[in-house]
Structure 1
Amino acid sequence: MSIPDTNQANNHNTLYDGQQDPQFQSPYVDMDEWREEPVRHRYMHGGFTGTETRFSFYFPLEENYRGRFFQPVYPVQGSENAAQSHVDGIDNKIGFAITRGSYLVETNMGGASSDVTLVYRASAAVALYSRVKATELFGPHRPYGYIYGGSGGGFKTMSFIENTTGIWDGAVPFVIGTPMAIPNVFTARVHAMRILKNKFPGIIDAIEPGGGGDMYADLNEEERQALEEVTRLGFPPKAWFAHEEIGDGALTVLTPAVMKMDSAYFDEFWTVPGYLGADPDSSASKARLQFKTVVSEVVRPRKQGKTESSSASNMGVDEAWKMLTEAEESIPSFKVESVPGGDAYLDGAFIRVISGEAAGLKIPLGRLDGNVVTIGSAFGFFASLQALEAVKAGDEIMLDNSDYIAIQTYHRHQVPSSDYAVWDQFRDENGEPLYPQRPFLVGPAVAFGGAGSLQSGRFQGKMIVVQTLLDESAFPWQADWYRSKAQEHLGGKLDESFRLWYVDHALHADTSSNGALDELHIVTYVPALHQALLDLSDWVERGIAPPASTNYEVVDGQVVVPYSAADRKGIQPVIALTANGSERAEALVHEKVHFKAVVEVPPNTGRIVVAEWDFEGKADFPVKADIRHLNEEGSQAVIEGTYAFSMPGTYFVVLRAASNRSGSDLFTQVPNLCRVRVVVK
């Protein structure tokens, strides 16, 4: 892989227009039919002769058509039918587009290719051909076009609109990273998780409502340093409530890619002064596992067929990377003579074959079940079935976590240019790196390879960025980095073409389906994303400026927003909730507790339309709240309630409320929540 110059801007003198691209001159349609689900629409499927590019179009009824299309951009090249797997509720991309009089465009972005420009060239070719079909169906016109994508799809969305002309009129990138995101957002997170694994209950309790407020209170020096490091890099502390669910994210997928690009690092980490592993007294050295054992039996084969996660359904911003790890072969497992102790750190470990015909083979460890070692997978590093068949009983193997521990501080050795202020903690007073630096920056290479260019902020058309304040995988400040690049390009005209909206109490995943734990802490940002698409189309087509960008500051890597909706701006309602007048209340069993919330919507962004209580922590929100609006617009309201608890304990009472500009439209019903603590004795 060639390593791009991180200081080199895209060449905007040669923007791609797609009209004469010889690779995409022979489109075809191989399916054209009416479908009734999730809503009546005309479905077309096809591709381009001589290429792997495929597409799907979903057209509305002619009488409902409003002359535009929406085109989702997924994190990885995959299925042109991904939307068909998400047809329920507000996650329904087809239903959203059709009910808005728009058609939906999907493409596999050309499939796998060594040509990094193919992702946007194929996507542009599909968009252009969709206009041909729309003209055939609805008469002469030029449909407006809007792309949107999150996470890796956000990288692509920015790259697509920066490198093309005349294709798309606007874009909504969401939960976006920067060219320095990979693998650094994951390495810092996992480093902290390894060191803090026994301290999360205290950390979480301290920052919950009514807690002590000091998440560092019970930490030793190393633990404090790890938490400070990841916090200053941008990880939002309130997201630690989900530390078990978020795990290491895509790091096991990314580690082999880093190994290929910078293989020397994984030896130097343990041997060269300045790297954590070279210190024999460090926690890294103490957590290192190199456990030798002998294979007593090879259990084969265990069929691992394609699962739903390897299908088109796995294209969301938090799931797409998992598709890359699905093995499609029958794989064995190994019974071994001995296993490491129960407190061994096995996360991310590899199985190294030391002796026998397969000596030298390196296999990702799946898990350890008693004395059975199962095999995992990692993109680009899954051993073939033929290679695994060479492992025999009697072979010596080593369970080795050295590489996984090494990568956990990789971000310290990837100090970029000064516009990445969160890395200042790794610079001395002269701006020089405190730690040894690697020969090149991996992040820009990954970003370039996935999107066809490095994001520059130089785009045509209009853009609304949607970012979340609890994003554990695309740290919130990264959207501000892109805003600064757009500011460099647009100067004083930034507000004419760009908005940035932050959504509070939302993680990285673009789905409304959360577990019970999540429902008590987070809301979905999908309705805000939908509203951004509608506001973007009004901005382009009718000249109606969208609501102002969120007002915020970036302080030591953390995005800080005002408490009131009027000051915060954006489009999400803000809730201030109290229990007996405070964020913490104490009560006796069967004693009534009074709850009061003031809910406010940013100016001209909608009306408070629904509110619901969860008192017992069951995440079922069984009590619909009475909303007392304070103004005619319905943008301010007071909500009150009382509740008596029948059992002693600590309860977190949650009020969830939502605003809307279109009555009861669930697609654009933007939610938020607030929590208070009640201690019942």
Structure 2
Amino acid sequence: PADTFFGAPYIDSDEWRESPLPHRHVHGGFRDTDTNFTFYFPTEDSYDGRLFHPLEGAHAGHEDAFGGPMGDVIGGLTLISRLGGYMVESNSGHIGDDTDPRGGEDPTLYGHRASVETARFSKHVAAQIYGAPPHHAYVWGGSGGGRRSPLCLEYGTGVYDGALPFMGGGEIAAHGVTTLMKGAQVMAFASMFNVQRLLRHQAAGVIDATRPGGSGDPYAGLTTHQREELANLYQLGYPRGDEFMIFSPMGQIWLWSSIADRLAAEDAEYFTAFWTQPGYVGHDAPDALADDILDVTTTVSRVVTGRELLTDPAYAGPEFGGLRVMASLMSAGPDLPMAIEVEGLGDGYRLGSGLQLVSGKAKGRQLYCMGHAGDLLSADGVAEANLLRFRDVEVGDEIHVDNRRFLAFCYYY
């Protein structure tokens, strides 16, 4: 490898696959690192000398995201083969939402170096398969991939010929900066989550008002506080006409689960002051939050895998539709326990709630609610919690469900 951080590349799987189209499927990694990769080489008659490297959104962490349903949705091997290329995937230097033990918190490793080294090695393999390396290489991605793809082009000298970022956001830093970049999305998402919470029963009217033929007044029928929060969201740049996205969440809540622990540690004073000090909504206007507060210790009544969500008739109803979609897109595999059923939560607001196991083998694990249907809660977390989810959780284990931190975050902007 050109980058001395990476050990020798290895291949642990090299096989022919027929789906989603005939291709040679190569999986491997770099020794002494957590960097893994997958290469997808279509047949020679469809190859025209191009490399395409899609980057996973969010923090990445999976080297097979575009080889499955996600690729079908936003562009995978079928699209890339039609464009005369082979596909490269990397986990961007880390497994799941954890960090590389040697790499630590180095943002350059996850931001571009692991991806660049993967693409560089893929050219060596492609030359052996097709007789020559690709003459053009492209990197692209949305959200987190939209942040990282320009870095790959900028710092991967001689590896890529173009980049196509979309939905990236964030500040633009000078060349050579190696510190973490600020994400502009944090404040905007806090406001959006709050509107999602406050207006969940008025969603249809807000959406209809801004559609063609609508009244044009999304504030009609709202309380003063609801109007203020919706106006704040618009002032932060949310586009009128896209209100349906506020109330049709897919992966957006992941942002909260990925930063909740860090925010609580770095800005602990805010999360305490929000409820106790004048000048904060939690102290000054408790009625805006009272009906939504959850602070309950209860027990797990069932642990549910992604496969069960997709196949068990008990979860076939429309109320489970969002959870089934998320289960179908999970890169971690269908047998990971991604959800639990609990008893006696009451009527509080579930999305974003902290879920901390307080007994059993998983005692102490902190997760956050990513989706729900009644008392069925799916969850995610950071580092080891992201990799394990509800693994080792058993029926009867106690769990503390507390959404006060999330409710405070809703006003963090």
Structure 1 CA distance, aligned partners of 2:69 and 2:304?
24
**Residue number in structure 1 paired with 2:158:** 166
Structure 1 CA distance, aligned partners of 2:243 and 2:53?
33
CA displacement 1:484-503 (0-9 Å, x = unmatched): xxxxxxxxxxxxxxxxxxxx
**Residue number in structure 1 paired with 2:107:** 116
Counterpart selection for 2:202 from 178, 199, 209: 199
Offset at residue 250 of structure 1 (A): 2.3
Structure 2 CA distance, aligned partners of 1:35 and 1:327?
22
Structure 1 CA distance, aligned partners of 2:400 and 2:129?
63
C-alpha distance 269-387 of structure 1, shift in aligned 2 (>3 A): farther
**Residue number in structure 2 paired with 1:99:** 82
Offset at residue 174 of structure 1 (A): 1.4
C-alpha distance 83-375 of structure 1, shift in aligned 2 (>3 A): closer
Counterpart selection for 1:38 from 17, 20, 23: 20
Runs of at least 5 residues in structure 1 that lack an aligned partner in the other structure: 1-18, 311-317, 412-681
Amino acid in structure 2 at the alignment position of 1:225: E
Structure 1 CA distance, aligned partners of 2:376 and 2:73?
38
Structure 2 CA distance, aligned partners of 1:90 and 1:350?
30
**Residue number in structure 2 paired with 1:410:** 412
Amino acid in structure 1 at the alignment position of 2:79: F
**Residue number in structure 1 paired with 2:65:** 82
Offset at residue 146 of structure 1 (A): 0.5
Runs of at least 5 residues in structure 2 that lack an aligned partner in the other structure: 171-181, 311-325
Structure 1 CA distance, aligned partners of 2:6 and 2:400?
50
Counterpart selection for 2:232 from 223, 229, 232: 229
Identical pairs, percent: 31
Scaled by the length of structure 1, the TM-score of the pair is: 0.46
Instruction: Judge conservation of contact 2:357–2:364 (CA < 8 Å) in 1.
Output: yes
1:65-464 maps to which residues of 2 (within 5 A)?
65-75=47-57, 76-86=59-69, 91=74, 93-111=76-94, 112-113=99-100, 114=104, 115-119=106-110, 120-140=112-132, 143-178=135-170, 179-246=182-249, 249-254=253-258, 255-279=260-284, 281-287=285-291, 289=293, 298=299, 302-305=302-305, 307=307, 328=336, 335-336=343-344, 340=346, 342=347, 344-350=348-354, 377-380=379-382, 400-411=402-413
Instruction: Judge conservation of contact 2:338–2:378 (CA < 8 Å) in 1.
Output: no
C-alpha distance 197-95 of structure 1, shift in aligned 2 (>3 A): closer
Scaled by the length of structure 2, the TM-score of the pair is: 0.73
Structure 2 CA distance, aligned partners of 1:402 and 1:203?
26
Offset at residue 321 of structure 1 (A): 9.9
Instruction: Judge conservation of contact 1:53–1:107 (CA < 8 Å) in 2.
Output: yes
CA displacement 1:258-311 (0-9 Å, x = unmatched): 2233223211111233322221x3543544536667x6xx566x343464999x
Offset at residue 407 of structure 1 (A): 0.4
Amino acid in structure 1 at the alignment position of 2:202: K
**Residue number in structure 2 paired with 1:21:** 3
Which is helix-richer, 1 or 2?
A: 2
Structure 2 CA distance, aligned partners of 1:43 and 1:205?
47
Structure 1 CA distance, aligned partners of 2:188 and 2:309?
24
Structure 2 CA distance, aligned partners of 1:49 and 1:354?
37
CA displacement 1:168-199 (0-9 Å, x = unmatched): 11100112221433422321111112232333
Instruction: Judge conservation of contact 2:142–2:165 (CA < 8 Å) in 1.
Output: yes
Amino acid in structure 2 at the alignment position of 1:227: L
User: Matched residue of 2:5: which SS?
Assistant: helix
**Residue number in structure 2 paired with 1:522:** none
Structure 2 CA distance, aligned partners of 1:86 and 1:321?
6
Offset at residue 257 of structure 1 (A): 3.6
CA displacement 1:593-638 (0-9 Å, x = unmatched): xxxxxxxxxxxxxxxxxxxxxxxxxxxxxxxxxxxxxxxxxxxxxx
User: Matched residue of 1:264: which SS?
Assistant: helix
Amino acid in structure 2 at the alignment position of 1:106: E
CA displacement 1:201-227 (0-9 Å, x = unmatched): 332222222222222343343222111
**Residue number in structure 1 paired with 2:320:** none
User: Matched residue of 1:160: which SS?
Assistant: helix
Cα RMSD after superposing both structures: 4.2
Instruction: Judge conservation of contact 1:256–1:378 (CA < 8 Å) in 2.
Output: no
Structure 1 CA distance, aligned partners of 2:70 and 2:296?
49
Amino acid in structure 1 at the alignment position of 2:304: Q
1:596-607 maps to which residues of 2 (within 5 A)?
none
CA displacement 1:12-49 (0-9 Å, x = unmatched): xxxxxxx6322335223344444444333333333223
C-alpha distance 143-223 of structure 1, shift in aligned 2 (>3 A): same
Structure 2 CA distance, aligned partners of 1:354 and 1:140?
57
- Range that drifts further, 269-278 or 241-250: 241-250
C-alpha distance 177-268 of structure 1, shift in aligned 2 (>3 A): same
C-alpha distance 256-195 of structure 1, shift in aligned 2 (>3 A): same
Amino acid in structure 2 at the alignment position of 1:51: T
Structure 1 CA distance, aligned partners of 2:93 and 2:262?
22
C-alpha distance 335-57 of structure 1, shift in aligned 2 (>3 A): closer
**Residue number in structure 2 paired with 1:53:** 35
Instruction: Judge conservation of contact 2:71–2:77 (CA < 8 Å) in 1.
Output: no
C-alpha distance 45-117 of structure 1, shift in aligned 2 (>3 A): same
Instruction: Judge conservation of contact 1:42–1:58 (CA < 8 Å) in 2.
Output: yes
Offset at residue 72 of structure 1 (A): 0.6
C-alpha distance 237-250 of structure 1, shift in aligned 2 (>3 A): farther
Instruction: Judge conservation of contact 2:65–2:71 (CA < 8 Å) in 1.
Output: no
Amino acid in structure 2 at the alignment position of 1:38: P
User: Matched residue of 2:149: which SS?
Assistant: helix
Amino acid in structure 2 at the alignment position of 1:263: A
Amino acid in structure 1 at the alignment position of 2:274: F
* Matched residues, number: 368
